[in-house]
Amino acid sequence: MDVILPNLGFLLSGLATTAVLALISIVAGTVLGIVLGTLRYTSVPVLGQAAAIYIEFTRGIPLLVFLFLFYFALPALGGYKVSAYVAAAQGFSFFIGAYLAEDFRSGLRSVRPQLKQAARASGLTETQVFRHIVLPIALRRIIPTLFNQYVRLFKFTSVASVIGVSELTGRAMLVNAREFAPIAIIVTLALTYLVCCLALSSIGRALSHRFTVRT
Amino acid sequence: MSDRPMIEIESVSKWYESFRVLSDCTTAVGRGEVVVVCGPSGSGKSTLIKCVNGLEPYQEGRILVEGVEVGAKGTNLPELRAGIGMVFQHFELYPHLSVLENITLAQRQVLKRSKAEADERGRALLARVGLAEKERQMPADLSGGQQQRVAIARALALDPKAMLFDEPTSALDPEMIHEVLAVMSELAAEGMTMMVVTHEMGFARRVANRVVFMDEGRIVEDVETEAFFTAPESERGRDFLSKILNH
Ligand SMILES: Nc1ncnc2c1ncn2[C@@H]1O[C@H](COP(=O)(O)OP(=O)(O)OP(=O)(O)O)[C@@H](O)[C@H]1O
Ligand SMILES: [Mg+2]
């Protein structure tokens, strides 16, 4: 404890960075996942195939390499500068978006064709059927899967320390370099992630309970 | 308005790939008329009534609803469908919406009614099908018979000029069949134009004006109800009747 307490403020602000980074990536990744998943579901020509290629591509690349892509390769290619923090947020969002897209697609596909037919029979257009029937049912059904992905992403953010983002893991390693108390510091670090992940999955469980779709 | 039937089906044929599901079907449903469609499993009954509101396309012939050709390129299908209620074998209530929301969704989205107006109409219809106290429940909390009555209310909420029923009681336990048939009989008595696929021959005999008997995608008989039950013209009709009445 005597190594943690003096550094508490420093570590807590690292945790805040981690939380904000995770939150941004969750929101952006979810939006991307819905868009890509919908393109896949409706098999829009060209865009649907582009989405499929993007998803395959992303899922075949290690997360760290993907971050390098956004931190080094793309800025070099496009001739722009980017902070480690922004590159990490971009990398995580695009990374998790590819996984979420497949979850959204399977959620959308879980809606029975007969139900869509009934909605059409009442005069709803295809867009209205999607917006009022298919999408809300799919979203509700995939809440548990979604939160599993969010928990994964939360843990993934520790990788951002490699490109120099000063988030929780990065700061813990700095403290360790100064104090050299690996057991206390790394156990605290691990427990902090664990508690956050447990909190995140209990939110998921509560939401999934609240919005369960019984048939 | 004219004397022309509400629904006219003229020489309609339909294929799934090379399989011919409907062969040269011709019949009509007049205003206020109740037509029961029956026939063995796979004879094309569901396919035929789904062609009427364009849920299934057909390749030959014409179907007219109040003179509007369902299969024509320029036809606004959502608009046409909004004027025809449809009830399915497995109810198909929206599982994520409450009973009342099931009934108000299309009123608000399609007819652009206000929430207050849609709710009021929804409540009146729920009361009418005997489910006034269920408006806040989710569909999964209702019995099959209750779900089907909600589905009927949902269809009626758009003030349809005709109703299509595809085996509305086939998925129900025997004790619930009656409550659904009672609502349908009442509708018929009020003059609703109805096309009903059903194996409930008691209902057909009491309520239908005509019976259309299908077999292998063809309309084999299209006769007055009494004529069908007392003296079916075709061998297959006789066969079907004797099987269904004696099982
Ligand atoms: N999407 C489809 N693709 C290919 N064949 C189909 C399809 N839908 C139905 N069929 C076939 O078309 C025929 C008519 O089907 P339909 O559902 O209209 O019969 P039905 O008279 O309503 O039968 P049931 O009493 O079992 O409901 C059947 O042989 C069925 O297998
Ligand atoms: Mg059928």
Output the CA angle B98-B100-B103, nearest 5 degrees. 110
pLDDT of B35 reads 98
Of B50, B96, B138, the CB nearest to A136: B96
Task: Give me the mean pLDDT over the B67-93 stretch.
Answer: 96
Task: Report the alpha-carbon distance of residue B144 to residue B46 in Å, rounded.
Answer: 20
Q: Please report the atom of ligand 1 found closest to the CA of residue B44.
A: 18
The environment of the single-atom ion ligand 2, i.e. residues with CB closer than 5 A, is B 46
Task: Report the alpha-carbon distance of residue B149 to residue B168 in Å, rounded.
Answer: 10
pLDDT of B191 reads 96
Judge whether residue B2 has pLDDT over 90. Answer: no
Judge whether residue B152 has pLDDT over 80. Answer: yes
- How is chain B split into domains, by residue range? 1-83+161-247, 92-160
Interface contact flag, A215 B90, Cβ < 8 Å: no
Of the listed ligands, the closest to the CA of B14 is 1
B21 lines ligand 1 (CB under 6 A): yes
Judge whether residue A32 has pLDDT over 60. Answer: yes
Q: Which residues pair with B8 in a beta bridge?
A: B28, B64
pLDDT of A3 reads 86
B43 lines ligand 1 (CB under 6 A): yes
Note whether B56 contacts A: Cβ–Cβ < 8 A: no
pLDDT of B188 reads 97
pLDDT per residue over A80-113, tens digit each? 999 999 999 999 999 999 999 999 999 999 999 9
Interval between CA B166 and ligand 2 midpoint (Å): 7
B27 lines ligand 1 (CB under 6 A): no
Interval between CA B47 and ligand 1 midpoint (Å): 7
pTM strictly above 0.80: yes
Q: What is the pLDDT confidence band of residue B1, given thresholds at 50, 70 and 90?
A: low
Nearest CA to ligand 1 atom 4: B16
pLDDT of A99 reads 97
Note whether B67 contacts A: Cβ–Cβ < 8 A: no
Q: Is B229 exposed, middle or buried (0-12, 13-18, 19+ CB in 10 A)?
A: middle
Lowest mean pLDDT among A177-186, B90-99, B102-111: A177-186
Task: Give me the mean pLDDT over the B44-48 stretch.
Answer: 98
pLDDT of B108 reads 98
Q: Is B35 helix (H, G, I), strand (E, B) or coil?
A: strand
Q: CA of A55, closest CA in chain B: separation in Å?
A: 29
Residues contacting residue A176 through CB under 8 Å, at least 6 positions apart:
A182, A185, A186
Judge whether residue B136 has pLDDT over 80. Answer: yes
pLDDT of B246 reads 78
Task: Give me the mean pLDDT over the A132-153 stretch.
Answer: 96
Q: Above pLDDT 70, what percent of chain A?
A: 100
Q: Which is the CATH superfamily of the domain at B1-83+161-247?
A: P-loop containing nucleotide triphosphate hydrolases (3.40.50.300)
Residues in A closer than 8 angstroms to B96, CB to CB, are 136-137, 140, 211, 213
Interface contact flag, B110 A123, Cβ < 8 Å: yes
The ipTM is 0.94
Judge: domain A5-210, CATH 1.10.260.40: no
Structure tokens at A124: 């709803």
Of the listed ligands, the closest to the CA of B244 is 1
Judge whether residue A159 has pLDDT over 70. Answer: yes
Interface contact flag, A123 B79, Cβ < 8 Å: yes
pLDDT averaged over every residue in chain B:
95
pLDDT of B247 reads 66
- Report, in angstroms and rounded to the nearest whole number, the Rg of chain B calculated over CA atoms: 18
pLDDT averaged over every residue in chain A:
95
Task: Give me the mean pLDDT over the B127-152 stretch.
Answer: 96
Residue A122's nearest CA partner among B111, B139, B116 is B111
pLDDT per residue over A126-139, tens digit each? 999 999 999 999 99
pLDDT of B244 reads 86
Task: Report the alpha-carbon distance of residue A130 to residue B119 in Å, rounded.
Answer: 23
Of B83, B110, B140, the CB nearest to A124: B110
Interface contact flag, B110 A117, Cβ < 8 Å: no
Task: Give me the mean pLDDT over the B160-175 stretch.
Answer: 96
Residue B9 one-letter amino acid:
I
